[in-house]
Amino acid sequence: MGRWHKCDLTGGVSLWESDDPAAMYAFALSWGETLEMSTHPVVEDAEAGAALAAQYGS
């Protein structure tokens, strides 16, 4: 979906969307000896809101 780089060249962010976590794992693995990566699953506001309402009430 997009890539952003820190202005001081110390890192960046890559945003991906996928229904196949294994494919994302394989991609990260292919760069494993070159880059340090971390993966953080996220949800959109509406999905987060519904989960929070179910847990804590609205």
- Residue 20's domain comprises 2-56
pLDDT, residue 26, reads: 94
Closest by alpha carbon to 12, among 2, 27, 26, 1? 2
pLDDT, residue 41, reads: 87
Closest by alpha carbon to 36, among 5, 11, 9, 14? 11
pLDDT, tens digit, for every residue of 29-43? 999 899 888 888 899
pLDDT confidence band for 51 (50 / 70 / 90): very high
Structural domain total, the chain: 1
pLDDT confidence band for 50 (50 / 70 / 90): very high
